[in-house]
């Protein structure tokens, strides 16, 4: 970019703000495209994973009511709009249902 130091302070500030905005939106696009590392992704077990924005909240409709799933610190948090039931399936798997 050309030397902006000769521009008025307000113009330099505006250009720097716009450059920061461009970097922010480029990062958002990389996340949406799955090119940014994330702790949440979609997988259909065939194609490669598709990253979602880091710490995104996911919603699943179970028996007509939403259940939200999110990361809290290093734990998975599951919240239901009604009573949720946790059913152990194996030592490394659970099933969640909602009344």
pLDDT at 86: 92
Over the chain, what is the mean pLDDT?
Answer: 82
More confident site: 89 or 1: 89
Do 93 and 65 share a domain, yes or no?
yes
Separation of alpha carbons 78 and 46, rounded Å: 26
Asked whether residue 2 is domain-assigned, the answer is no
The string of pLDDT tens digits covering residues 30-39 is: 777 666 666 6
Is 37 a domain residue?
A: yes
Instruction: Tokens for 38, please give them.
Output: 């994330």
Q: Structural domain tally of the chain? A: 2
Q: Where does the chain have alpha helices with state H?
A: 9-32
Residue 22: domain span: 9-51
CB 81 within 8 Å of CB 87:
no
User: Does any domain span residue 1?
Assistant: no
| Cβ contact 67:85 at 8 Å | no
């Amino acid at each position: 970019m050309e030397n902006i130091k000769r521009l008025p302070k307000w113009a330099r500030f505006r250009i720097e703000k716009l450059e920061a905005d461009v970097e922010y939106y480029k990062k958002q696009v990389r996340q949406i495209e799955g090119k940014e590392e994330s702790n949440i992704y979609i997988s259909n077990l065939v194609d490669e994973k598709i990253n979602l924005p880091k710490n995104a909240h996911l919603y699943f409709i179970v028996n007509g009511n939403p259940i939200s799933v999110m990361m809290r610190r290093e734990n998975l948090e599951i919240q239901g709009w009604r009573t949720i039931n946790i059913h152990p399936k194996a030592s490394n798997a659970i099933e969640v249902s909602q009344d």
